[in-house]
């Protein structure tokens, strides 16, 4: 059995992190068997290397090896591609065609992005895994095949199963052995090695001097998140090799090639809300409501000052901070009271209230504004009763006028009067 280091040299694999070494070890161990293997890992980590290792170390190495990207084949033709079709099976089928499972008989098929397979194709694939049988599209003749299937995916298969996008029985058939390749951000000691390898390759390809990184640039390279993994690192190395005239790359130069979306900051993704999340949201909502209540009380006091002083501009200027806090700074929404009547109308205070009027009726009307100083009850029913009483008193029991002031219909007011026995 070949060693891990020998396999790396043979297949051009760079790196020495434990996760990578463990993945290669598992590939070496399962290669002599016919066990189905599922390779998992993020896009761009190099999953295609594992099935090549498995095939070359197996007894099938002299037969065909076919790699199929399941996500790149249209849903309407993927059955024909994998299993073949008979002449006349569908429009355009002018002759019989052999599928990959027939061509690769005795060899290995690598199904990349297997999580993208349609459910109907998954049923056909399950039958191949169970007894090696398949049907061509448009045929009733059962055919046999002897293939080794190695699949790969960057999809969370358990989520796909829960969403009924992937069959659970097929998943367990494919993942007899699961080989996981770690993302590049978990292989920090390998990042600079990979970059140097890519830079050397591109220097030979484009017949240019090899680009080199300063110490600070190396630190930037290592700390970057690399969402696209090895594929993204290779892309950056190629860009630098082709575009930069100065072959010594500084940290500042390197940063211009790194997308800002690849932040080192961890991204927290919540798929569901716990009970504590809702409890926290309720607490925040209550706090906002109580703050709004306090601000409205302050605004009522400000309005009374406007009415007493008669000089709205000075009072507005003194309390500009309060008004902006409640209504924001949008010019279109600024509150500018031209006079006390407009301010009173805004808060539903009768515009004819005069603070210097000593008449009993006016004092009664002014009395409700002074009650702002008192602690308000949180009972909606009590507030409703209080407002209806005051409105009826203000209009000497005339329901029509009271209803208009309260903003409700006379019929609704009549029902409220009966309800509260007024």
Amino acid 153: pLDDT: 96
Q: What percent of the chain has pLDDT over 90?
A: 57
Residue 411 in contact with residue 400, Cβ under 8 Å? no
What mean pLDDT do residues 216-223 have? 95
Q: Which CATH class is domain 4-182?
A: alpha beta
DSSP-derived letter for residue 200 is: H
Least Cα distance to 50 among 74, 24, 72, 25 occurs for 24
Q: Which residues contact 171 (CB under 8 A, 6 or more apart)?
A: 38, 157, 161
* Residue 212, SS3 per DSSP: strand
- pLDDT for 419 beyond 90: no
Amino acid 334: pLDDT: 46
Q: What is the dihedral of CA 177, 183, 187, 188, to 10 degrees?
A: -170
Residue 388 in contact with residue 417, Cβ under 8 Å? yes
Q: What percent of the chain has pLDDT over 70?
A: 76
Amino acid 277: pLDDT: 53
Distance CA 81, CA 98 (A): 8
In which element (H, E) is residue 307 found? Answer: helix 275-309
Query: CB-side exposure of 142: number of CA atoms within 13 Å?
Result: 7
> If pLDDT is split at 50, 70 and 90, which confidence band does 288 have?
confident
Q: Rounded to an integer, what is the distance from CA 100 to the centroid of its chain? A: 36
Amino acid 224: pLDDT: 95
DSSP-derived letter for residue 45 is: S
Q: At what angle do helices 188-206 and 229-243 cross, to 10 degrees?
A: 40
- DSSP string over 35-55: --EEEE--TTS-TTHHHHHHH
Stated pTM of the model: 0.61
Amino acid 171: pLDDT: 96
Q: How far is CA 71 from CA 108, 149, 416, in A?
A: 19, 17, 66
Diameter over CA atoms, the chain: 111
> If pLDDT is split at 50, 70 and 90, which confidence band does 306 have?
low
- Lowest-confidence region among 162-166, 186-190, 321-325, 394-398: 321-325
Phi and psi, residue 11, nearest 5°? -105, 10
Sketch the domain layout of the chain as residue ranges: 4-182, 187-255, 285-419
Q: Rounded to an integer, what is the distance from CA 377 to the centroid of its chain? A: 43
Amino acid 361: pLDDT: 45
- pLDDT for 279 beyond 60: no
Amino acid 239: pLDDT: 96
Q: What is the dihedral of CA 356, 357, 360, 365, to 10 degrees?
A: -80
> If pLDDT is split at 50, 70 and 90, which confidence band does 422 have?
confident
Q: At what angle do helices 399-406 and 380-394 cross, to 10 degrees?
A: 130
Distance CA 357, CA 360 (A): 9
> If pLDDT is split at 50, 70 and 90, which confidence band does 374 have?
very low
What mean pLDDT do residues 332-340 have? 47
* Residue 356: Cβ-neighbour burial (10 angstroms; 0-12, 13-18, 19+): exposed
- pLDDT for 282 beyond 80: no
Amino acid 368: pLDDT: 44
Least Cα distance to 136 among 76, 80, 78, 74 occurs for 80
Amino acid 414: pLDDT: 77
Distance CA 402, CA 386 (A): 13
CB count within 10 Å of CB 136 equals 22
* Residue 151, SS3 per DSSP: strand
> If pLDDT is split at 50, 70 and 90, which confidence band does 375 have?
very low
Bridge partners, residue 97, by sequence: 85
What mean pLDDT do residues 346-353 have? 47
Distance CA 289, CA 293 (A): 6
- What is the bridge-based pairing of β-strands 148-153 and 108-112? parallel
Q: Please indicate whether the domains covering 4-182 and 187-255 agree at the CATH topology level.
A: no
Q: Between these two residues, 391 and 168, which has the higher pLDDT value?
A: 168
- pLDDT for 298 beyond 90: no
Distance CA 238, CA 198 (A): 7
Q: Rounded to an integer, what is the distance from CA 251 to the centroid of its chain? A: 30
- Whole-number mean pLDDT of the chain? 82
Phi and psi, residue 407, nearest 5°? 80, 25
Q: Between these two residues, 28 and 311, which has the higher pLDDT value?
A: 28
Domain 187-255 falls in which CATH fold? Helicase, Ruva Protein; domain 3 (1.10.8)
Q: What is the pLDDT of residues 132-152, one digit of tens each?
A: 999 999 999 999 999 999 999
Dihedral (CA of 314, 318, 319, 325) sign: positive
């Amino acid at each position: 059995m070949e060693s891990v280091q020998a396999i790396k040299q043979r297949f051009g694999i760079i790196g020495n992190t434990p996760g990578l070494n463990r993945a290669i070890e598992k590939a070496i161990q399962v290669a002599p068997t016919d066990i189905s293997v599922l390779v998992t890992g993020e896009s761009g980590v190099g999953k295609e290397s594992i099935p090549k290792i498995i095939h070359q170390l197996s007894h099938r190495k002299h037969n065909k090896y076919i790699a199929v990207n399941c996500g790149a084949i249209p849903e309407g033709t993927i059955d024909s591609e994998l299993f073949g079709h008979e002449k006349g099976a569908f429009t355009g089928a002018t002759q019989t065609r052999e599928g990959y499972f027939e061509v690769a008989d005795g060899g290995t098929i690598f199904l990349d992005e297997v999580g993208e397979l349609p459910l109907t194709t998954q049923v056909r694939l399950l039958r191949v895994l169970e007894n090696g049988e398949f049907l061509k599209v448009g045929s009733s003749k059962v055919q046999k095949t002897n293939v080794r299937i190695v699949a790969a995916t960057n999809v969370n298969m358990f989520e796909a199963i829960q969403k009924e996008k992937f069959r659970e029985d097929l998943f367990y058939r494919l993942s007899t052995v699961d080989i996981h390749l770690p993302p590049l951000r978990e292989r920090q000691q390998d990042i600079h090695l990979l970059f140097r390898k890519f830079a050397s390759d591109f220097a030979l390809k484009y017949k240019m001097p090899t680009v080199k990184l300063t110490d600070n640039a190396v630190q930037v390279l290592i700390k970057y998140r690399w969402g696209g993994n090895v594929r993204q690192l290779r892309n950056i190395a190629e860009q630098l090799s082709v575009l930069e005239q100065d072959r010594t790359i500084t940290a500042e130069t390197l940063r211009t090639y790194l997308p800002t979306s690849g932040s080192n900051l961890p991204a927290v993704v919540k798929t569901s809300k716990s009970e504590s999340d809702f409890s926290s949201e309720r607490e925040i909502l209550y706090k906002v409501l109580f703050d709004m209540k306090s601000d409205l009380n302050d605004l009522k006091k400000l309005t009374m000052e406007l009415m007493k002083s008669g000089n709205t501009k000075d009072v507005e200027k003194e309390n500009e901070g309060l008004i902006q806090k409640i209504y924001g700074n949008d010019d279109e929404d600024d509150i500018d009271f031209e006079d006390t009547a407009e301010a009173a109308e805004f808060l539903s205070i009768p515009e004819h209230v005069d603070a210097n009027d000593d008449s009993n009726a006016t004092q009664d009307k002014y009395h409700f504004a002074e009650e702002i100083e008192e602690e308000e009850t949180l009972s909606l029913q009590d507030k409703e009763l209080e407002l209806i009483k005051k409105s009826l008193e203000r209009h000497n029991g005339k329901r029509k006028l009271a209803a208009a002031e309260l903003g409700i219909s006379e019929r609704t007011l009549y029902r409220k009067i009966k309800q509260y026995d007024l």
